[in-house]
Amino acid sequence: MIQVAKEQDVQLKARVLTEVLPYIKRHRGKTVVIKFGGNAMEREQIREMFASDVVLMRYVGINPIIVHGGGPQITGYMERLSKEVRFVEGQRVTDSETMEIAKMVLVGKVNKEIVSLINRHGTLAIGLSGEDGNLIMSRKRFAPDGSDLGWVGEVESVNREMIERLIGFELIPVIASVGSDAEGNSYNINADIVAGEVAAALKADKIIYLTNVKGIMAQGGLVSRLGVEESRGMLENGEISEGMIPKVESCINALEAGVNRAHMIDGTSEHALLLEVFTDEGVGTMIVGGQDKDQGET
Ligand code: ADP
Ligand code: MG
């Protein structure tokens, strides 16, 4: 009996490995932007799995680019420093002191932790903030109601060439969502927006958002596939709200700039990234543009 069980195990492994082959072929040489959300990265075990999934992608010839946030981590440090945390329409009000804390946490801590988790597997990742090499040039962004949010920025331009050079060195850029302007001011930018702009600038094949929900939920269920127009409708009628707004808006921008597909998946579940990229069972929500080149497949 034990012998039989072992044989089945081996067969299963072989099936899984064979199933992966067409996905490796399809994604080889492609650029995939991955947004690692602050909520998804709370558990250490998940962060380690995320790192090894990214490394596997790199080793089979995919070019991953990571953009990360760290909202809950910034809030945690602000509370430790007894600093008031304030949000207006989902955006953190960022005075100079908050900007300093955000930079310390995002660039000094979260970014370096992701880099070191990846680099336990080899010399693979390079950490950057949007200020390094003028990667993310920014300007001030006001709240939709016009109120002043302090040092909150939007993306003016992305230094595409620099990212492409890093990819040319077979490095995985890990980008903290901080930007700067020509005067040297730093801005706190929503990482969803940075990820979308980076994907758009590079005309990436895919953008994947790892968040803390299964995907886009509507009418009590998970939406597995959406077009751009339907997504716009859901933003307008309020079915998409709060933290999902910048993700879907950025997906639409990226798709319109030539990115092929956008995915929203649950980054708190084990190996979500691996399952999305390498199996038939596409998890979460996929948003496709008008010119989906891989029609019908997950
Ligand atoms: P992240 O750290 O990944 O950016 P956010 O909290 O900013 O996470 O955004 C994800 C949140 O968006 C979800 O936890 C959920 O509360 C909210 N949300 C709003 N509308 C939807 C929707 N239609 N489907 C799924 N999540 C939604
Ligand atoms: Mg968010």
208-231 pLDDT tens trace = 999 999 999 999 999 999 999 999
**Averaged pLDDT score across all residues of the chain:** 93
Q: How confident is the model at residue 92 (pLDDT cuts 50, 70, 90)?
A: very high
- Which amino acid would we find at residue 45? Q
Ligand 1 center–CA 264 separation, angstroms:
10
Residue, of 154 and 294, whose pLDDT is higher: 154
Lowest mean pLDDT among 17-21, 31-35, 124-128: 17-21
Atom 1 (ligand 1) nearest CA: 37
Residue 218, burial from CB neighbour count under 10 angstroms (0-12, 13-18, 19+): middle
Please give the average per-residue pLDDT across 150-160, as a whole number: 97
Atom of ligand 1 nearest to the CA of 267: 3
Is the CB of residue 216 below 6 angstroms from any atom belonging to ligand 1?
yes
Decide if pLDDT at 28 tops 70: yes
| Residue with tokens 């979460």, as numbered in its chain | 284
| Listed range (53-57, 111-115, 260-264, 291-295) with the worst mean pLDDT | 291-295
Query: Does residue 51 register a pLDDT over 70?
Result: yes
Q: Provide the pLDDT confidence category of residue 38 given band limits of 50, 70 and 90.
A: confident
Which residue bears the tokens 């903030």?
A: 129
Residue type, 241: S
CA dihedral sign of residues 170, 174, 179, 183:
negative
CB 125 within 8 Å of CB 174: yes
pTM of the model: 0.94
Among 36, 213, 217, 265, which is best to mutate for testing ligand 1, by the most ligand atoms less than 8 A from CB?
213
- Number of Cβ atoms within 10 Å of the Cβ of 296: 5
- Mean pLDDT over 225-243 rounds to 95
Indicate whether residue 70 lines ligand 1 (CB < 6 A): no
Average pLDDT for 91-119: 96
Exposure on the CB side of residue 143, measured as CA atoms within 13 A: 14
Q: What are phi and psi of 215, to 5 degrees?
A: 160, -155
Kindly give the number of the ligand 1 atom that is closest to the alpha carbon of 72: 2
CA–CA dist 33, 47 (Å, integer): 17
Distance CA(226)–CA(243), nearest Å, equals 18
Q: How far is the CA of 7 from the centre of ligand 2 (A)?
A: 45
Q: CA-CA distance, 145 to 89, in Å (whole number)?
A: 9
Which of 78-87, 117-126, 287-296 shows the lowest mean pLDDT across its residues?
A: 287-296
Cα 138 to Cα 101, 209, 253, 276, distances in angstroms: 19, 22, 17, 32
d(CA 197, CA 254): 7
Judged by its nearest atom, the ligand closest to the C-alpha of residue 211 is: 1
Distance 15 CA to ligand 2 centre (A): 37
Instruction: Select from 118, 36, 117, 114 the least CA-distant residue to 71.
Output: 36
Residue 47, φ and ψ in degrees, nearest 5: -65, -40
What pLDDT score does 29 carry? Answer: 96
pLDDT, position 2: 59
Residue with CA at minimum distance from ligand 1 atom 25: 216
Please tell me the predicted confidence (pLDDT) of residue 298: 47
The sign of the CA dihedral 97, 99, 101, 103 is negative
